[in-house]
Structure 1
Amino acid sequence: MTETADILVIGGGIGGIGAAARLAPEAKVIVLEREDAIGYHATGRSAAVFIRNYGNATVRALNAASAPVLENPEGIADSSLLTPRGEMMVAAEGEIEALEHYLAGSDGLQEITPDDAVGRIPILRRERIERAVFEPNAQDIDVDRLLQGFARLARSGTGRIERRAEVAEIVRARTTWQVRTKDAAYEAPIVVNAAGAWADGLAAMAHVAPIGLTPMRRSIAVLPMPDDLGVERWPLVVSGSETWYAKPERGRLLVSPADEDPVDPHDAWPDDMVLAEGLHRFEQAMTISVTRVERSWAGLRSFVADRTPVCGFAPDADGFFWLAGQGGYGVQTSPALARLAGDLVLGRTPELTPDVVAALSPARDGIGPGTGTLQ
């Protein structure tokens, strides 16, 4: 027996669950998630920091639109999803140009002295710092509360989230999409493709043109730190050329080589050599050595060629809606993208400006077949 819905959302990461949260009050929505739990892949492996100056101009517009929701998540959570952290970028010799590029178009960044940088993170090697900047408004995001808040809204009314529901077939039949999993069949006039790293594969299954999505691995190592350093008070610190970053968490440091190695969609794990090289770059900037890694993991950040998310109806398939390519910005932009997806799917005028909506469209120039290799 085929179950009917108004909208099928394929993918239970922060993108799909967020979109379902904004659609469920006005439509029967069913989310199909292939894993045992929502947020299993990229969402559950996020560095969980809200950085207003992260990304290109369109992403920064999404950051700005998401900030009020994260600060006052009415209907999602009972208090702010943000806590103070701060972000510091330190540039060694040869990284000044990269730092200047990051500063271009930024807002709220403060240039600080190398001594000030070391005062904030005392294990930094002072002689390697040529310039440093600080963003006081960078904040930690409570990702789990955000995801679970979205999930409660997605389940409101007739909404439902189906786990262990990997899509095996998706076809267009007259005015509806027919979707089959191993155990069930569904039908709806609209499908939201929020399948993360698998989004282009899902499109191919549906005979919809791809957007040129490239999944890229990002690794993390957890390093123990001495209790007397007061690590939890430190800001996030990033190298000027973004070849490593370190974030305090529960008295430890999460250190990433900031890797972006193209890979096929899969349940990601770290490459030992990539992780070792990244930890070496981190060591060069610090006065301490890495003697032990408590644990490590990896996730996938999926980009299209212009590194801007894709949100909108496919130009070549009625009722097929793209919500993909969020890259490393998926969690922090999820409130704005969820709202936009809801507006577009339900035919409302978007709250975002027309130029931002156009920059996110799957019909824009520069993405699509043959554009998936990032330079």
Structure 2
Amino acid sequence: MSQRFDIAIVGAGMAGASLGAQLLARGAGSVVMLEGEDRPGYHSTGRSAAFWQETYGGPQVQPLTLASGPVLEELGFLHPRGGLHLARAQDLPELQAFAEEFSNVGVDLPAVDRAGMEAQVPGLDPQWVAGLAEPSCRDIDVAGLHQHYLAAFRRGGGEVWTRARLAAARCDGDWALSLEDGREIRARVLVNAAGAWADEVAAMAGARPVGIQPLRRTMAQIRVSPEAQAAMPLVMDMAGTFYFKPEGGRLWLTPHDETPVPPCDAAPEEIDVAVAIDRFEGVVDWRVEAVEHRWAGLRSFAPDRLPVYGWDVSVPGFFWCAGQGGFGIQTAPAAADMAARLLLGQEAGEVDPGVFGPERFV
């Protein structure tokens, strides 16, 4: 016999968990979250080296980031970090354009000269001639934030089902959902918060896929000499070929790769770790003593690299909450608020949802 809910959310990562918590806080009725893995947040949320950074995602994503900042601060999930964007001589036009673009939306990016960069990153290679500081950049306690939303969801009466992979979805007024283990669910609304699997869920439900592409991102934890100092900022280059930041006396380092892959349990490739180290050795004169840990996660983007929130244009009762890319965690509070208002037909909040609707792909 089928269990009946008002809303079924496919996916219990940050997108699904934050939206579920907001829906129940706004009186949505009964909500179930369907997670295909043994635990929520296994693929992307649980592998994030997330930080809150106003410039990440571009000016169209910035309103979601900016509106989320005070919430994350109040909840205690933001911690001081700061950011430093490095540029070589050939990157100076991009550095200037970047500063101007974000100055227009009120982001403070003070110029940093060579001496200022060396003070923050000792041993910096001479090729790095200019930089921009991003003082507002913060670390995010990703696990803490995710657990906060899951706990709020459960307190509100929501149910989280793990090992609950969707096998079929049919709409006959309500949604009839079949899980791979044979369980059946009926729901009035089906929410697609399936991350890398979002297009697969859409096709299963009879909706047109919008082109969500999973991209593999590689991370490595390295031990360096001299030891990474805790006060060092998040260090990035204008060409987008690396970033690194300190973590517990070690460095977390990425080659900033975005390798298209099918939806999968992502694993790091040795070549990508080697590329990351090679690029790092062109930044500072520190010695890499060991690669202590390596991992990879999936970042899923729509074709225009903006998230997708809203009702499907052709399938009634099907709601998109997908394509959050690498900024889904830093925008979670505002994005969940915006999406919950849309789904429940409530008055719009602080952020205009217009640019994020799935109708833009029709």
Shorter-chain TM band? over 0.9
Q: Secondary structure at the match of 2:90?
A: coil
Question: How far is the alpha carbon of 1:230 from its aligned partner?
Answer: 5.2
2: CA distance, partners of 1:347 / 1:123: 55
Contact 1:225 1:231 in 2 (8 A): no
List, as ranges, runs of 4+ consecutive aligned residues in structure 1 with deviation greater than 4 Å: none
1: CA distance, partners of 2:175 / 2:92: 51
The residue number in structure 2 matching 1:46 is 48
More displaced stretch, 90-99 vs 241-250: 90-99
Tell me if 1:57 matches 2:55: no
Q: Secondary structure at the match of 1:63?
A: helix
The TM-score normalised by the length of structure 2 is 0.95
Gaps of 5+ in 1: 74-79, 369-375
The residue number in structure 2 matching 1:77 is none
Distance 1:115 1:191, change over 3 A: same
Question: How far is the alpha carbon of 1:83 from its aligned partner?
Answer: 0.8
More displaced stretch, 155-164 vs 299-308: 155-164
Describe how 1:94-173 pairs up with structure 2 within 5 A: 94-106=90-102, 107-125=107-125, 127-173=126-172
Q: Give the AA of the match of 1:53.
A: T
Tell me if 1:363 matches 2:362: no
Question: How far is the alpha carbon of 1:94 from its aligned partner?
Answer: 2.0
Q: Give the AA of the match of 1:91.
A: A
The residue number in structure 1 matching 2:326 is 328
More displaced stretch, 116-125 vs 3-12: 116-125
2: CA distance, partners of 1:282 / 1:93: 18
Q: Give the AA of the match of 1:46.
A: S
2: CA distance, partners of 1:251 / 1:157: 39
* CA deviations over 1:246-291 (Å, ceiling 9, x no partner): 0110110000000011111101011211221222111111112434
* CA deviations over 1:48-68 (Å, ceiling 9, x no partner): 210012112221010011111
1: CA distance, partners of 2:10 / 2:287: 44
Tell me if 1:90 matches 2:86: yes
Contact 2:170 2:177 in 1 (8 A): yes
Contact 1:24 1:155 in 2 (8 A): no
Question: How far is the alpha carbon of 1:337 from its aligned partner?
Answer: 1.0
* CA deviations over 1:112-164 (Å, ceiling 9, x no partner): 11111111111322x11121111111011111111111111111243111111
Question: How far is the alpha carbon of 1:300 from its aligned partner?
Answer: 0.7
Q: Secondary structure at the match of 2:295?
A: strand
How many residues end up aligned between the 2 structures? Answer: 355
Question: How far is the alpha carbon of 1:180 from its aligned partner?
Answer: 1.1
The residue number in structure 2 matching 1:244 is 242
The residue number in structure 2 matching 1:371 is none
2: CA distance, partners of 1:344 / 1:35: 28
The residue number in structure 1 matching 2:74 is 72
Report the aligned-residue RMSD: 1.4
Question: How far is the alpha carbon of 1:295 from its aligned partner?
Answer: 1.2
2: CA distance, partners of 1:114 / 1:319: 56
Q: Give the AA of the match of 1:363.
A: E
Contact 1:213 1:325 in 2 (8 A): yes
Q: Secondary structure at the match of 1:322?
A: strand
2: CA distance, partners of 1:225 / 1:282: 11
2: CA distance, partners of 1:172 / 1:96: 54
Tell me if 1:194 matches 2:216: no
Describe how 1:221-260 pairs up with structure 2 within 5 A: 221-226=220-225, 229=227, 231-260=229-258
1: CA distance, partners of 2:70 / 2:283: 35
Q: Secondary structure at the match of 1:243?
A: coil
The percent identity for this pair of structures is 38
2: CA distance, partners of 1:179 / 1:69: 34
Contact 1:217 1:300 in 2 (8 A): yes
The residue number in structure 2 matching 1:265 is 263
The residue number in structure 2 matching 1:3 is 3
Q: Secondary structure at the match of 1:72?
A: helix
Question: How far is the alpha carbon of 1:233 from its aligned partner?
Answer: 1.2
The residue number in structure 2 matching 1:344 is 342
Describe how 1:301-312 pairs up with structure 2 within 5 A: 301-312=299-310
Contact 2:10 2:190 in 1 (8 A): yes
Distance 1:217 1:104, change over 3 A: farther
The residue number in structure 2 matching 1:21 is 21
1:274 aligned to 248, 272, 279, which one?
Answer: 272
Distance 1:140 1:9, change over 3 A: same
Contact 2:84 2:131 in 1 (8 A): yes
The residue number in structure 1 matching 2:204 is 205
Q: Secondary structure at the match of 2:330?
A: helix
2: CA distance, partners of 1:343 / 1:86: 33
Q: Secondary structure at the match of 1:232?
A: coil
Q: Give the AA of the match of 2:116.
A: D
Q: Secondary structure at the match of 1:207?
A: coil
Gaps of 5+ in 2: none
Contact 2:224 2:288 in 1 (8 A): no
2: CA distance, partners of 1:103 / 1:38: 38
Tell me if 1:32 matches 2:31: no
Q: Give the AA of the match of 1:120.
A: Q
2: CA distance, partners of 1:229 / 1:256: 18
